[in-house]
Structure 1
Amino acid sequence: MANTQRRYTSRSNRPKKPSTNTILNALIGIVIVLIIITAGFIFIGNDDEPEKADSTKDTESAETADGSEAEEDVDPEDQIGSEPIAEEEATEDSESSEEEATEEESTTTEDSTTGGTVTSTPSDDPLVSERIVNTGWKPVGTSQTGEHTSVYTEGHVDWDEKLKAMAYTTGLAADNMIVWRIENGGSPQKSIGVVSSNDKKEKYRVYLEWVDGEGWKPEKMETLKTLDGAY
């Protein structure tokens, strides 16, 4: 019994070896710590990158703001939008110039004979040199009574009164006037006559309108460039 007790005592005094579980637990702990440290570095790095990105964006925004301010006076949209306005202004100026030119070409004089205002306007008609209107023109008088009927027969009183009105309008004397044509002027009480001087240097187309009780009154006279096609 004594020997046995000694052997037991001897076993209990030997140093104990660490168990396998303890080693595994320690390794697991080390791995967890490493994971935590690695994750910390990752998160910290991600936090720095957004800050850098934000800083870069702020710099670009500042540069863009400066650039936009510098280019504010030459905005392409403003330039494009201004082109039609410039074209419209140019068109308006052109039209105004044309109107002014037309007004300058039209001449207005005072007729001492009739006391009216004579307006002469150039014409685009290839047959017509100018159109003349005189506010002083009066009806030439008539011997006709009752309801008026326009007549285009030579020798008739109405025909003769038309000739009188055209001589009055053109200033041609009766013996120095060739009547090329007298026709209806678009209504029963209007007539148009084409006349010239005997030498055909003076050529006119006269527009007449009947005034009841007063006779034929000139409305307008055209100075002709040629008689061809004028009647």
Structure 2
Amino acid sequence: MNNNDPNFSRINRKRSTSKSNQLLNVLIGLVVLLIIVVGAFIIIGPKDDKGNDLATDENVEESTSNPTDSQESDSVDDESIEIVEPDDEETESSTDQNAGLSADDSNDGDTESDSSTSSEGEEESSGTVTIVPSEDDFIQESVINTSWKPIGTEQTGVHESKYDGESIDWVEKQKALAYATGFEKDELIYWKIKNGGSPQKSIGIVSTKDKSEKFRVFLEWVDGQGWQPVKMDKLTTLDFEY
């Protein structure tokens, strides 16, 4: 058939039109399918590779990635009900301090007790001094000191009081007289030493070498311990009956 035949031309035109219509239908179908897919995507929401809802995951991520508000709220709640317990070290320190205070109070009591005991001991050691003014013209005052002790002795056996000016007993009498006055033995003048009314009692009249201080001392013998002063008169003069 000749290509110039009118019938051939009409057949070709029909075929071209048919192909165009098919292509147009395909395109229309693709557009419709694309619209359906997009609509479904919008309605259902995007999915990840595992099929999970991406919108939901994003919400979860947003919630977990911003825990500050929740933590702050929990912190506020915790602070409102927080119970503070004492630290062990602080408790031990407080206990030690209390113990230290108790020990200090106890030591203070011991110190006071020791001080009281010491005072009593000093009083016993120093004794009691009694001073009595005298009505006699030649006596200023009389002194009795309970701290006076026997001066010791080198004598043994039965004691015999002697007034010979050279015996051990005589020398020990001089020491006892000096002891009562507070002066050394060699600082005194021994005006008279005589019997005090019994074999175991003596009386001595002494003065300082310048005679500014004058004394009459009464002695008693203590077996094994020597002569002990028991009384002393401070004299105003040596001009009297010894």
TM-score (norm 2): 0.48
The CA distance in 1 between the partners of 2:241 and 2:223, in whole Å, is 29
Identity rate of aligned residues, in percent? 57
The CA distance in 1 between the partners of 2:143 and 2:169, in whole Å, is 24
Alpha-carbon contact 1:179-1:195 (below 8 Å) kept: yes
Find 1:207's aligned residue among 193, 218, 224.
Answer: 218
The CA distance in 2 between the partners of 1:230 and 1:134, in whole Å, is 25
Find 1:191's aligned residue among 192, 199, 202.
Answer: 202
Question: What is the identity, as a one-letter code, of the residue corresponding to 1:134?
Answer: N
Find 2:137's aligned residue among 103, 126, 137.
Answer: 126
The CA distance in 1 between the partners of 2:124 and 2:138, in whole Å, is 28
Please give the residue correspondences for 1:149-188 in structure 2 after superposition, counting only pairs within 5 Å.
149-188=160-199
Secondary structure of the 2:148 match is: coil
Sort the Cα spacing of 1:230 and 1:116 in 2 relative to 1 into closer, same or farther, 3 A: farther
Structure 1, gaps ≥5 residues long: 1-109
The CA distance in 1 between the partners of 2:129 and 2:240, in whole Å, is 27
Please give the residue correspondences for 1:1-231 in structure 2 after superposition, counting only pairs within 5 Å.
114-231=125-242
Alpha-carbon contact 1:207-1:219 (below 8 Å) kept: yes
Question: What is the identity, as a one-letter code, of the residue corresponding to 1:178?
Answer: I
Alpha-carbon contact 1:203-1:225 (below 8 Å) kept: yes
Alpha-carbon contact 1:127-1:230 (below 8 Å) kept: no
Give the RMSD, CA atoms, in angstroms: 1.8
TM-score (norm 1): 0.51
Aligned residue number for residue 51 of structure 2: none
Q: Which runs of 4+ in 1 moved over 2 A?
A: 110-114
Sort the Cα spacing of 1:127 and 1:117 in 2 relative to 1 into closer, same or farther, 3 A: same
Structure 2, gaps ≥5 residues long: 1-119
Question: What is the identity, as a one-letter code, of the residue corresponding to 1:228?
Answer: D
The CA distance in 2 between the partners of 1:187 and 1:157, in whole Å, is 19
Measure how far apart 1:175 and its partner are.
Answer: 1.9
Question: What is the identity, as a one-letter code, of the residue corresponding to 1:180?
Answer: W
Measure how far apart 1:230 and its partner are.
Answer: 4.8
Structure with bigger gyration radius = 2
For 1:61-119, what per-residue CA distance to the aligned partner results, in whole angstroms no more than 9, with x for missing partners?
xxxxxxxxxxxxxxxxxxxxxxxxxxxxxxxxxxxxxxxxxxxxxxxxx9879511101
Paired residues, number: 122
Question: What is the identity, as a one-letter code, of the residue corresponding to 2:173?
Answer: K
